Every structure is written in C-alpha cells, then in structure tokens.
Structure 1
Amino acid sequence: MNLRGILAIYKFEMARTLRTLGQSIASPVISTVLYFIVFGSAIGSRMQAIEGVPYGAFIVPGLIMLTVLGQSVSNASFGIYFPRFTGTIYEILSAPLSFIEIVIGYVGAAASKSIIIGLVVLLTARLFVPIQVAHPLWMIFFLVFTSVTFSLLGFIIGIWADGFEKLQLIPLLIITPLTFLGGSFYSIHMLPEFWQKLSLLNPVVYLVSGFRWSFYEQGDVSLSISVAMILGFMALCLLIICWIFKTGYRLRK
C-alpha cells in the first residue's frame, strides 16, 4: 500500500477544501437555520410529537443526512472530474498507485469533509432543540459509512460526467428528491399503506431510518436492514469503480 501516494492525494484535496471551508461551513449552517425556522417553528409548532419525539428534534437526523448525502456526492464528483477536465488525470494514472489507492485518496478526502459538515449541522441543530444520541457508536457508523458510500457514488458520477452540467444532474434530479421523499422530515408510517410500501423502494429511507434510530431508538425499518442496505450499496459502488478502472471507461481517450 503506497501510503505516501494516498496521503498526497488526500492532502491536495483537503487543501482545496480548506481554502473554501468558510463558505462550505456557512452554507449548511444557514440552511440548517432556515430549515428550523420553516419546519421546526412554523410547521413544528402545529404538529404533535412523532413517536414520542418532538418534531424539531425528529427532523435533525434527516437534516444531517440531507446535507451529508449532497456534500459527499458533490465533493467526490468534482474532485475526480477536475483532473479529467484539466488533463492531469493521466499523471495520476501513470503514478505508482493502484486504483484502490487513488480511490482511497479522493473518496477519503470527500468523506472527511462531509463528516465535518455533518457534525457542524448537528452542533447547529443543538442550538435550537435538545438532542440526545442514544447510541453514539451507531451514529458515527452511519455518518461515516453514508459519507464514504455516497462519496464513492460521487466518484462514479465524476468519471461518468463529460461536462460540469452533468455533475449536478444526478444530485439535483435523483438524490435530492429521494432524500426529501425518504422520511427525512416525516415518518413513512404517517403515509397511507400504499405509499409506505412504495417508500421502501427508496434506498435513502434505510439510511435515514438507521441514523434516526441511533438518536431515538426509533426507525421506519429495522436496524439490521438499514445496515445491510448501506453495506450492499457500498459494495455495488466498489464493483462499479473496479469495472471503470479495469476497462478504462472515461479515463482513457
């Protein structure tokens, strides 16, 4: 394992991240405040507690997942797309690095930033509502594995995209709607039976449910299913990345 090569990629990506850290942190903090003003105050004051959890506290895990998913995809996709756009990707491919080491460097940096921002959102939310994490280790597990998994997805998108417009296509048209419809701001048990069953086709439901369980020991699906889904999705992303490097898809002209 070429640790020096991995660290070089990781440091380069994190240095680029740190240059815009102010706006990177300011954006989710402002978004969190707005969500609590709209959902927590305007709507939450008119809603009863959901499964014994005040609505303002109930939406915190979903709000963190919404931010983490978006940040993971955008950070990783731009991180690998920019070298392709400038042509420096060939220098990376010709370096004494395996594709696993390249992926660890880029995905590790993207996931690190997402985890930091997720924790910032959590700390911001605590200014508005009292939050108790029932299972901190499970909370860290879902935060880390969600960040890594969707950073892998962003890495795939960054290789697939042939223009800056496509970098935003899947996050805007697929991931964001799935997150909003994945129980981020409500329990799917509040829906009619047909829509409950339909919601189970949404993979984000399992991520939000597992993450919310780590806070309040309540979720829309069982913890084991949530864990299996996130590990299965990670394995699928890894298989696709292996295929990309094996075939050279969009890496070689």
Structure 2
Amino acid sequence: MNLHAVKAIYRFEMARTFRTITQSIASPVLSTSLYFVVFGSAIGSRMGDIGGVSYGAFIIPGLIMLSLLNESISNASFGIYMPKWAGTIFELLSAPVSFIEVVLGYVGAAATKSVMLGVLILVTARFFVPYQIEHPVWMLGFLVLTALTFSLFGFIIGLWADDFQKLQVIPLMVVTPLTFLGGAFYSIDMLPPFWQRVTLFNPVVYLISGFRWSFYGIADVDVATSAFATLGFLALCLVAVWWIFRTGYKLRS
C-alpha cells in the first residue's frame, strides 16, 4: 500500500475544499438552515407530532441526509473529473499507484468533507429545533457509511461523465427527487398502502429510515434492513469501480 500517494491525493482534495470553503461548506449549511427556519420553526410549529416527535425535529435526519447525498456525490465526482478534463489523469494512471490507493485518496477526502458538513448541519439545527439522539454510535455509523457509499457513487459518476453537465444529471434528476420522495419530510406510514409498497423500491427510504431511527428510535423499515441495503449499494459501487479500472472504461479514451 502506497500510503504516500493516498496522503498526497487526500491532502490535495482537502486543500481544495478549504480554498473554496464558502461554496463547499458555508453554502450547503446556509441552504439547509433555511429549511429549518421554514419547515422546522414556521410550518412545524403548526403541525402535529409524528410518532411522538415534533415535525421540526422529525425532518432533521432527512434534511441532513439530503445534503449528505448531494455533497458526497458532488465532491467525489468533481474531484476525479477535473483530472480527466485537464488531462492530468494520465499521469496518475501511469504512476506506481494502484486503483485502490486512488479510490482511498479521492473517496476518503470526499467522505471526510461530507461528514464535516453533516456534523455542522446537525450543530446548526440545534439553534432552530430541539432534538435528541438516542443512539449516537449508530447515528455516526450511518453518517459515515452513507458518506462513504455516495462518495464512491459520485466517484463513479465523475469517471463516467464526459462533460460538466453530466456531473449534475444524476444528482439533480435522480438523487434529489428520490430523497424528497424517500421520507425526508414525512413518514411513509402516512401514505396509502399501495404507495407505501411502491416507496419501498426507493433505496433512499432505507438510508433516511435508519438514520432517523438513530435519533428517535422510530423507523419506517427495520434498522438492520437499512444497514444491509446501504452495505449492498456500497458493494455494488466497489465492483463498478474495480471494473472501470480493470477495463479502462472512460479512462483510456
């Protein structure tokens, strides 16, 4: 394992974050704070409890997950796409660095940034809505696991993308709608039976449900199912990355 290469890639990506801290950190935190103001304080105060939890507190895990998914994908996809766009990726591919070390550097940095963002949003939420965390270890576990999984997914998108527009297609057209329809702002138990069954095909449901359980002990699906679903998607992403580097898909042309 070439730890020097991993460290160099990781430090480069982290330095890029702190050079653009307004865009990378401040902007997502501010945007999510507006959700807390509107849905948590203004609208939430006029709505009833959900599962014994106030509406403002109920949506906190969903809002954190919404930011976490988007930022994980964005950070990782942009990080690996820029070397492709600039042509410097060929220097990386010809260096004595394995694809495992490349993935560790880029995905590790993207996941670190996403976890930092998630923690900042969690701290910011305290100023607007009171909440509790019943299972802090599970909460941190879901936070890190989701950040790693979707940073790896974003890494795949960055390898696949041919231009800057493609970097935004899947986050905007797929991930964000699935998050809004995945119980970020409501419990799927509030839906008619038919739509409850349909919603279970949405993978984001399992992420939000497991994360919400770590806060309040309530969930739309079993917490073990949520954890296994996330691990399964992580495994699929790992296989996809291995195949891309093995075949040179979108790398050698």
TM over 0.5, shorter chain:
yes
May I ask how many residue pairs the two structures share in their alignment? 253
Residue in structure 1 matched with residue 139 of structure 2 by the alignment:
139
TM-superposition CA deviations, 1:203-228 (whole Å, max 9, x none): 00000000000000111000110010
TM-superposition CA deviations, 1:166-203 (whole Å, max 9, x none): 00000000000000101011100011111111110000
Q: Distance in 1 between matches of 2:154 and 2:31?
A: 22
Residue in structure 2 matched with residue 88 of structure 1 by the alignment:
88
Residue in structure 1 matched with residue 158 of structure 2 by the alignment:
158
Residue in structure 1 matched with residue 55 of structure 2 by the alignment:
55
Which amino acid counterpart does residue 146 of structure 2 have in structure 1? T
Give the unaligned 5+ runs of structure 1: none
TM-superposition CA deviations, 1:70-103 (whole Å, max 9, x none): 0000000000000000000011111111101100
Q: Distance in 1 between matches of 2:40 and 2:143?
A: 23
Residue in structure 2 matched with residue 36 of structure 1 by the alignment:
36
Following TM superposition, the consecutive aligned residue runs of length 4 or more in structure 1 with deviations greater than 3 angstroms are none
Q: Displacement of 1:162 after TM fit? A: 0.2
CA RMSD of aligned residues (A): 0.8
Decide which moves more: 65-74 or 38-47. Answer: 38-47
Q: Distance in 2 between matches of 1:211 and 1:33?
A: 19
Which amino acid counterpart does residue 229 of structure 1 have in structure 2? A
Which amino acid counterpart does residue 156 of structure 1 have in structure 2? I
Matches within 5 A, 1:1-253: 1-253=1-253
Q: Distance in 2 between matches of 1:25 and 1:5?
A: 26
Give the unaligned 5+ runs of structure 2: none
Q: Displacement of 1:30 after TM fit? A: 1.6
Q: Distance in 1 between matches of 2:109 and 2:33?
A: 26
Q: Distance in 1 between matches of 2:19 and 2:39?
A: 32
Which amino acid counterpart does residue 110 of structure 2 have in structure 1? A
Which amino acid counterpart does residue 186 of structure 1 have in structure 2? Y
Q: Distance in 1 between matches of 2:33 and 2:60?
A: 11
Percent of aligned pairs with the same amino acid: 67
Which amino acid counterpart does residue 46 of structure 2 have in structure 1? R
Which amino acid counterpart does residue 232 of structure 1 have in structure 2? G
Q: Displacement of 1:38 after TM fit? A: 1.9
Q: Displacement of 1:43 after TM fit? A: 2.2
Q: What TM-score, normalized to structure 2?
A: 0.98
Which amino acid counterpart does residue 21 of structure 2 have in structure 1? L
TM-superposition CA deviations, 1:27-60 (whole Å, max 9, x none): 1222122112221133212210000000000000
SS in 2 for 1:39: helix
Decide whether the 8 Å contact of 2:32 with 2:67 is kept in 1: no
Which amino acid counterpart does residue 64 of structure 1 have in structure 2? I
